[in-house]
Every structure is written in C-alpha cells, then in structure tokens.
Chains A and B, each alone.
Chain A
Amino acid sequence: MKQLDFREIDGGKPFYMLVGFIGLFIIAALGAAFYMEHNGHHVTGMSNQVIWGTPHVFAIFLIVAASGALNVASISSVFSKTAYKPLARLSGLLAITLLVGGLVVLVLDLGRPDRLIVAMTYYNFKSIFAWNIMLYTGFMGIVAVYLWMMMERKMNSYTKPAGLAAFVWRLILTTGTGSIFGFLVAREAYNSAPLAPMFIIMSFSFGLAIFILVLMGMYKWSNRPLGDAILYRLKNLLGVFIAAVLYFVTVYHLTNLYITETHGVERFILLDGGIYTKLFWIVQVGLGGLLPLALLYLPATGKSRGWIGISSLLVIIGGLAQIYVLLIGGQAYPLEMFPGKEVSSSFFDGVVASYTPSLPEFVLGIGGVAIALAATIVGTRVLRFLPVSLADSQVDPHYKAEESAA
C-alpha cells in the first residue's frame, strides 16, 4: 500500500453554496426551537402522555450513530485492519459531528435550554442522564485526541492506545444511551437489559450506513476516486450489522413475548398498534432490515454503487423508525398500574396516547442532521481528513496480488 496523501477538499463557490444550503436547514431548526420555547411545548405534538417526541427520535438516532461512525477507525487502529486506515480520520470526524448534531437537538428541546449551565454544574450521580453528559463530553475529547494522534505524524505511534481508549469509551457511551430506557422500570416497553447491547449493535449499523453515504457523497462531490474494494468491504460489514440488529430485535421481542406481564405492550407494537405496528413491520423490519440485507448480498445489486447507497439510506430510515417505535410507541402504550382492571380518567389513564409529530419538531430534528453534515464538510475543508484517492490501487492491500494472479 502506498503512502496516503490526505488533502483538504476544495473551497470556492461550490463549497460555500453547499454549506450555505445546509445552513438554511440549521437556521430553520433554530427558528423552530425558538418558536417551541417561546410558546411552550403545547405547540408541539408532545404532551403529558408522550413526553419525548420527534426531536428525541432524531437526537437519539444521531447520538447512537455517532458512536457507530467511529467503528471504521476502531477497526483500523484497534483491530489493525490496514484497509480501513485511510478512512479512520473521516470516521473520527463523523463521530464528533454526529454527536454534536444530536446533542444540539436534545438541548434545544429541553423545557429550559437556557439552563444548560445548570446541567453542567449540578450533578445527580445516580442519574443515567448525568452519566451521559459526562460520557458525551468525554467522548468528544477522547476522539479529538485520537484524531490528533492520527493526523500528527510525530504522534502516530500513540494512535493505537488512543484508538483503544476511544473504542472502549464508545461502548460505554452507547450502553449509557441504551440504559436511559433499559433502566426505566415504569414502562412496559423499556425496562429490559437487552436494550443496552441492542443499542450498541444499532449504533454499528446506523453509524456505518451514514459513513458509507457520506463517504460516497464526499468523493463524488469532490471528484476524488473511490475504488470498489473499500466500498465492498464496508457494504459487507453493513450487511452483518443489519443482520445483528434484526437478531437483537428478535431476542428483545421474544423475551417480552415469553413474559405474560409484557404481552399487552407486545400485542400493541406487533399486532394492533396502528402506526407503530406499521412502522415496525414495514419500515423497521422490511424496508430498514430485510430489504437492504438482500440488496447488499444479492449478486445483481450487491456490486452496484447505486444500490449500496440506497441500502445505506434504507438502513437510516429503518433506524429512525426503530427509535420512533421504541421511544414513542413505548410511551403511547399506557402505564399498567392496576393489573386486571380497565382504567379511565381525565388524564388519559388506560388509553393509548395519541401523538402526531408537529412541523417544528421535525424541522428541529432535521436541523441536527444538518449541523452534523455541515460540520463534517467544514471539517474536511479546513483539515486533512480525506485521502486524495481511495482508488483500489491506493488502498486495497490485495490489489497487486489479485492483478498478478489474474
């Protein structure tokens, strides 16, 4: 493998137009956040029944994907797969920018975002949220150091330990994110230990799907060569992750189906939950799981860039649906306080809560994605994150061997 040449992407008009275009979404998101905070959350679809809405779906998705985006770098540094080395810097950058995007959405959806400083200065150490605040900020710091080790020639020898630290930290981080739900005893849909490992495997899948799309997009946009070898490696890995997510989803539901107490909520999600049932079977399992799995491995589509891109996009859409079903479906299903009783009250006890995402919520969520993308693009403009070429001859360790064999 040749010495890699990393370069900033070109500036100029196209760059500013692209960043400006994405910036419009960020401005819209800030406007939406201001509108919601100014009027109060009653202008959203959220209520005292569905407490966390669409912004949280996006925020959790981005945070989960952030830790997963780091995987490519981990495979390179921790597991010493040299083929992934050219991609490691972008992987680290995406890990930070996706996390920032998710956190911005999370903070702007707080009832009192102006009290962010309170969240930084008052800690209840038993709160998983408080742990997560430290896990998130620590993650950004560790990945930043890791990037420095990778990008500064003099520090290259420390890449492996830094990569290992980042890898371990990200596993803890996603465990923390999963435990936000896994440790909630109150609600039937949560309160399940498999949620933490499931979130880890979800992060592998979502993060890699985003990584593949960003990689393909950036190389096409900047007219840099991207070889098949690296792309096929990534898409095969994505297939494995998709299958693993489906496995965990199966185990999670089997656990709940075995336990009589959780039959109600399982019936709701899997059978008669209306939108949540549809989202689960059609979008999460079908479009976001089985279809991309088939597309990535079928000979007719698995070698096509277009289909690899579409498969990655499907994984992202399926992932958003998965979090929507878990988060909002889990809240829509009523709390079971009185087993064996039909419950009714003026406070929506015993009934399935209704929730319709409002436009500002959606715009805020999309804004988080826009922040992550804009930060990634600006990052690759100002620092050397991307190799000039990812052509097979540059990056594939087996390239020459294959040629001579042929």
Chain B
Amino acid sequence: MSDQSNFDQYRRRFLGGSAATVAGMALAPGVLLHEIGHAKPADQAVSDEVRWGMLIDSNKCAEGCNDCVKACNDEHGLTGFDRPATDAQWIRKVTLKDKETGYTQTLPLLCQHCEKPPCVDVCPTGASFKREDGIVLVDKHICIGCRYCMMACPYKARSFIHETLQDQKPYSPRGKGTVESCTFCVHRVDNDETPACVEACTAENHNAMVFGDMNDPSSAISQQLKQYNSRQIRADLQLNTGVRYRGI
C-alpha cells in the first residue's frame, strides 16, 4: 500500500516535472538552457560564479607515489582488464626528464577541464559538455562513441570503453562504446567534498594537489595561484585550463 502511494507520489512529481519542462521549453528556451546544469538538485544550482580548478605542485609530487591514481580508480571503479592499451585511465602519473639537463620530475595528468574545451567543440551530438562551473563531462546517454573528442584532446585525457563493464559505481556510470574522462569527482564536489585524488594526496601529507573555486579570491587555490608562479600545459592553445601546475 505504501509502495503504491510512493509510486503515485513519484508519478505525480514526474508528471508535474514533465509538464513544467514542456512549458519551459515552449515559453522560454533561453532560460531553460541555464537551468540544465543543476549541480545540487537539493537546493543550489550550478552557476558560472564558481570555476572549479586544481593546482598541482610538481615539486611536492613524490616519485613512485601513485596514491592519486589508486584513489581515482577505487572511487570510479576503474578496475581494468590488464590490457594497458585499451584500459581506461582518468588520471596518470607522468615522468618528465629534461632532454638537455636530465632534470627529472613527476606529476599527475588528468582532464584539464578547459574553459574552451576542444572535445566539446568537436562532439557532434553535444555529449561532451562543460558545466557552468567549468567541469567538463560526457553525457553517456548521447555519446555515440565516434571518438572525435579523443582525437581533439591535446592532453590524451580521454578513454574509450573497449569492453563490457561490470560492478559499476552508481554515481559514476560508464558504458561500453562510449568515451569517458575525469569528472573532477563531480558527485563529491556537488556535496562539498574534494575529488578523491586530492583527498588521497592530502591524506599522505604530500599536499601536492589543491582543489577549489578559482573565482573565489579567498579560496586556497586562488591564494596560491596569486602567490606563486604556475602554468598551464600547452598554454599556447589558450584553452584556459582548470588544472594548473607549479614547478614545470
């Protein structure tokens, strides 16, 4: 009985919502476009007043440490099939060695959450999209698996799902035949938590990764960006990345 009333309630809400959507589409398409990026369905909408960003200090990034990668894989269930060429990697540790001097350093590389993302430009269906708050995501429902975004990404940040997946995390849906990449742990960010990689780095006391709102002058990331020199990878492309680096 209570199941039935729950269902009725759900149905009423759904129908009401649908009617509102249809009305909204008919009356004010422009307004509706701004409403799509609901980050916090509870009470707060995503807005471009926030720009989520990450500052990575390569000097603090320990060689041989893989905690951020492990945390990401655990968080999103990226178990892999022991096939490195086709397994998904949302974040990876990259080692750089200067060809002239031999100076070696290491850093994590992930989706750079560009302000002007080439993946979003080239996506034929609009499955690749950028939220108002700067997080670049793939809508797995309308991704047709053409992989043009992977051709366009200057950071090799995206993975194509080459085989059937099981045991997925409910907050991080994935699917064979679609493309995916780092979500900045949007499910955590929307609950005022930090991405799993940042949390893991901080837990190890490496503190090489700082996450926050780059639009908020009082945030830790803004203060550090103001205080220290940082740079964007492939800054020549002027994509205004959401991930910045120190020490490279």
Residues of A within 8 A of B (CB): 37, 39-42, 46-49, 51-52, 110-113, 115-116, 118-119, 122-124, 126-130, 133, 180, 184-187, 331, 335, 337-338, 340-349, 354
Contacts and interface: CB of A to CB of B under 8 A. Distances in A.
A345 B94 contact: yes
A interface, over-half SS: loop
Contacts of B234: 337
B123 interface: yes
Interface in B89-107: 89, 92-100
Nearest to A49: B85
B219 interface: no
Interface centre among A180, A185, A335, A343 (most CB of B within 10 A): A185
19 contacts: A47-B86, A110-B144, A111-B143, A112-B177, A122-B124, A124-B125, A127-B123, A133-B124, A186-B118, A335-B155, A335-B156, A337-B234, A338-B248, A341-B97, A342-B96, A345-B109, A346-B84, A348-B85, A349-B94
B96 A338 contact: yes
Given A111-B178, A118-B144, A186 B248 contact: no
Contacts of B95: 343-345
B176 interface: yes
Nearest to B154: A186
Given A41-B86, A337-B234, A123 B124 contact: yes
Contacts of B156: 48, 335, 337, 347, 349
Given A116-B144, A119-B144, A48 B86 contact: yes
B19 interface: no
Contact of B161 (A39, A40, A49, A110): A40
B81 interface: yes
B96 A343 contact: yes
Nearest to B164: A40
A346 B137 CA distance: 23
Contacts of B93: 345-346
The 3 closest A-B CB pairs, nearest first, are A111-B145, A111-B177, A40-B163
A345 B163 CA distance: 23
A27 to B, nearest CB: 23
B163 A110 contact: no
B126 interface: yes
Contact of B144 (A39, A111, A337, A342): A111
B155 to A, nearest CB: 7
A338 B233 contact: yes
Contact of B237 (A122, A185, A349, A354): A185
A340 B98 contact: yes
B: interface residue count bin:
35 or more
Contact of A118 (B87, B92, B94, B142): B142
Interface string B114-133: 00001011111111000000
B147 interface: yes
Nearest to A122: B125
Given A115-B144, A184-B152, A335-B154, A110 B177 contact: yes
A185 B85 contact: no
B179 interface: yes
B153 interface: yes
B96 A110 contact: no
B172 to A, nearest CB: 18
B162 interface: yes
Nearest to A186: B154
B179 A111 contact: yes
Interface in B213-248: 233-234, 237, 248
A186 B152 contact: yes
B125 A337 contact: no
B122 A128 contact: yes
Contacts of B100: 340
Interface centre among B124, B158, B160, B176 (most CB of A within 10 A): B124
Contact of A42 (B99, B118, B150, B163): B163
Contacts of A49: 85
Interface in B134-153: 142-148, 150-153
Contacts of A348: 84-85
Nearest to B69: A346
B59 interface: no
B85 A122 contact: no
B242 to A, nearest CB: 16
Contacts of A345: 92-95, 109
Nearest to B147: A51
Contacts of B143: 111-112, 115
Nearest to A37: B177
A127 B96 contact: no
Contacts of A124: 120, 123-126
Contact of A127 (B89, B148, B248): B148
A47 B120 CA distance: 21
Given A37-B177, A342-B99, A345-B95, A47 B152 contact: no
